């Protein structure tokens, strides 16, 4: 008799030994050909990355960007483009199921980000030192209401986890995996991992697609599932903050504000990184120094 619930894929056994000399391959999820043209003209990615490829998702026109470094997900032999609300996951699925990652360290990022000049070097170095981990760039607290709000896909994700794997979300999230940063999750889908861990994640998440449903907040459920997979599979998440800024332009219209690409276009294309906590820290130090000087 077959077991009722699925077993958890183990990505750790596929995490090949990495060295700082191994190359980084970055995949950029994008849905608009004009954004690709903007990025290429500005040198946004070519100035920061040695090896990168766009994964074009969705059904929009792409005739202007049929080039070597653009993969059209809907034209690949194995794709799930009809599941359009899963956005970034359709790109991750395409990468894994069509063997696009090779043996490189895999960085998966969104187009509405800005990177520092040290992004690639620091990513490779950190990933090489922690090959059995998922590397996130933008940590947020799991205690914040934004992590598992019901309107962000929490309810269908909770039900899918129970139906497919027979575990409750509370049970999975009870304790942090040893080695993980405490009470944090990699917000915005911008992460890095070995091809083995990426394949294990896709194997783990794919069976839950039908339970979550192709609905407006499916992409938000996927985003939060990276942390849940980490907990469920016992794979730690570590972070490399201060090498990336995400501008959250809401290009898919699933949040309660308008598309802000034009507002942030200059910052995105020129890789203008903004770290509010650093600015706040500098301001605090300045005020403290000023207070001491006045004494």
Give 53 or 264, the one with higher predicted confidence: 53
pLDDT of residue 7 exceeding 80: no
The pLDDT tens digits for 113-132 are 999 999 999 999 999 999 89
Q: What does the DSSP 8-state code read for residue 54?
A: E
CA distance 256 to 9: 35
Q: What percent of the chain has pLDDT over 70?
A: 83
Domain 12-294 in this protein, CATH class: alpha beta
Q: How confident is the model at residue 83 (pLDDT cuts 50, 70, 90)?
A: very high
CA distance 45 to 50: 9
Q: How confident is the model at residue 256 (pLDDT cuts 50, 70, 90)?
A: low
Domain ranges of the chain: 12-294
Provide mean pLDDT across the span 177-188: 89
Which residues make Cβ contacts (< 8 Å) with residue 262, sequence separation at least 6?
A: none
Q: What burial class does residue 4 get, using C-beta atoms within 10 Å of its C-beta: 0-12 exposed, 13-18 middle, 19+ buried?
A: exposed
The pLDDT tens digits for 145-178 are 888 876 678 899 999 999 999 999 999 998 888 8
- Rounded to two decimals, what is the model's pTM? 0.87
């Amino acid at each position: 008799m077959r077991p009722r619930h699925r077993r958890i894929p183990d990505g750790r056994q596929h995490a090949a030994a990495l060295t700082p000399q191994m190359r980084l391959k970055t995949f950029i999820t994008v849905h608009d050909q004009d954004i690709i043209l903007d990025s290429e003209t500005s040198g946004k990615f070519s100035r920061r990355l040695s090896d990168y490829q766009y994964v074009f998702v969705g059904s929009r026109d792409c005739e202007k960007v049929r080039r070597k470094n653009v993969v059209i997900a809907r034209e690949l032999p194995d794709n799930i483009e009809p599941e359009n609300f899963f956005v970034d996951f359709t790109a991750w699925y395409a990468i894994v199921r069509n063997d696009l990652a090779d043996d490189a360290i895999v960085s998966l990022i969104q187009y509405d980000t800005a990177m520092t000049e040290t992004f690639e070097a620091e990513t490779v170095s950190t990933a090489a030192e922690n090959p059995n981990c998922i590397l996130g760039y933008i940590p947020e607290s799991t205690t914040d209401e934004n992590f598992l709000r019901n309107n962000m896909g929490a309810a269908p994700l909770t039900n899918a986890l129970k139906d497919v794997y027979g575990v409750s979300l509370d049970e999975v999230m009870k304790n942090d995996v040893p080695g993980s940063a405490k009470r944090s999750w990699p917000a915005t889908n911008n992460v890095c991992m070995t091809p083995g861990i990426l394949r294990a994640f896709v194997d783990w998440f794919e069976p839950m697609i039908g339970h979550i449903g192709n609905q407006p907040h499916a992409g938000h459920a996927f985003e939060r599932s990276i942390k849940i997979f980490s907990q469920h599979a016992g794979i730690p998440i570590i972070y490399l903050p201060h090498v990336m800024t995400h501008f959250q332009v809401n290009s898919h219209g699933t949040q309660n504000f308008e598309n802000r690409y034009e507002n942030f276009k200059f910052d995105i294309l020129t890789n203008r990184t903004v770290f509010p906590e650093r600015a706040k820290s500098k301001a605090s130090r300045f005020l403290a120094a000023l207070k001491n000087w006045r004494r």
